[in-house]
Amino acid sequence: MKDLSNKRVAALLSGGVDSSVAVALLVEQGVRPDLWYIQIGPDRDQTDFTCTIEEDLEMARAVAYKYGLPLQVIDLHKDYWEKVVDYTMSRVRAGLTPNPDVMCNRLIKFGVFDERVGKDYDIIATGHYATTEEEVVEVSGNDNGNGNENHSSAATNLSTIKEGNNSSTCQLVNSSTRQLTWLCTSPDPVKDQTDFLAQLQPWQLQKACFPIGHLPKAEVRAIAEREHLLAAHRKDSQGICFLGKIDYNNYIRKFLGEQPGQVIDRKTGRVLGMHRGLWFHTIGQRKGLGFGGGPWYVVEKDMERNILWVVNGYDPIESYSDHFRITAPHWLTIDPFCYAMSPSNAPSPTLSMTIKIRHTPDFCPAEVRLLPNGDLDIHTERPLQGVAPGQFGVLYDTQKHRCYGSGELRIGEFN
């Protein structure tokens, strides 16, 4: 854990085991954080949500009482529905597959919360499974302040400091060095949540602290039992951030309604039936299509003609892709194409990285080419199933350790 000496810390407490143990570890390190519970619930007349606010608050209050810490509740209900739900519906309406959990971290937990109260704190601690590292780099004489530091082995002092003090993701340490903060993976590959944090703004990453990020889930549970925390045996939360398990189709239907269209077999051209709206489906979907003779996989959503294209089989080749695009990549710390400059100080046009296209422990090696418009042309080492436009492609170094950033997936248009 980073050095929090003389830092004012706000800890976001959800009532789950992870955030509860995060608080326990902070206290163990001599830190006395202020605890905050973000309250968000179903909107207006929603009745199909599994709402656990009262139970969550009971767990949170138990943690506060145990450690003698102040707990405050902040209502960000309106902000969530205006920001995260608006993002979700705009993407769904365009035929894309959104990830509201990613944007909830950026817009709510590290966004609106910081605007309201987090600005009064040096650190915002959460129960995410992720770590951070700091790297001090030597700035070349021709650095123009745009992050184009010289990182060649001859000119760079690569002094990596894990979890040290950080006041900026690109802090000027002295006249010739800069300090970078990197988002790094958890040693627990199944629980790693860097993909959910890969859209954070650099200043948000600078303030973030992940006390349990270096631990496997089993050890987190063991600490909870040792500390006699009420959440020790509580199941992990499921479903959409803050909303839990919901009927997703009803959730979408409330905002967008229905728009029936044909479902067509890509191989034969046969019309299998009708869908109720392309926004109820995602690329790679296999369950819930309702047609006999399956399994059927969704391979394309034709928004112009309102056609859902599917293929038949247990592992059809049409459901895989090894070539796709990331649009408008968001870099957490520094543009890796500048970070890996050639000796001529020109950004490298192609880099070797690893990539995730969904929340999974599996990384795939990929060659990533920078396109003239700033998008990224991705060639993966092996075909990946269900490359869904709108989902986030998350990019890491070849060691699967440092997370560079992420961007929305797209198919085609590689010029």
- Taking the C-alpha atoms of residue 330 and residue 246, their distance in angstroms, rounded to an integer, is 30
The two structure tokens encoding residue 389: 């436009």
The number of angstroms, rounded, from the C-alpha of 324 to the middle of its chain's C-alpha atoms is: 20
Q: How far apart are CA 356 and CA 33, in angstroms?
A: 34
Are 13 and 37 a contacting pair, CB within 8 Å? Answer: yes
Measure the N-to-C terminal CA separation of the chain; round to a whole number of Å. 44
Task: Name the DSSP class of 95.
Answer: T
CA distance 311 to 20: 45
Q: What is the CA radius of gyration of the chain?
A: 23
How many of the other CB atoms lie within 10 Å of CB of 68? Answer: 8
Catalytic residue among 184, 241, 338, 403: 241
Residue from 204, 214, 222 nearest 166 by CA: 204
DSSP-derived pairing of the beta strands 131-138 and 177-184: antiparallel
Is 104 an annotated catalytic residue? Answer: yes
Q: HSE (CB half, 13 Å, CA atoms) of 190?
A: 3
Q: Which of 97, 47, 37, 8 is nearest to 242 (CA)?
A: 37
Q: Please identify which of the residues 104, 184, 209, 338 carries the catalytic annotation.
A: 104
Cβ-contact 105, 67 below 8 angstroms: no
CB 409 within 8 A of CB 357: yes
Q: Is 184 a catalytic residue?
A: no
**Strand extents, DSSP E, 44-96:** 71-75
Task: List residues with catalytic annotation.
Answer: 104, 241
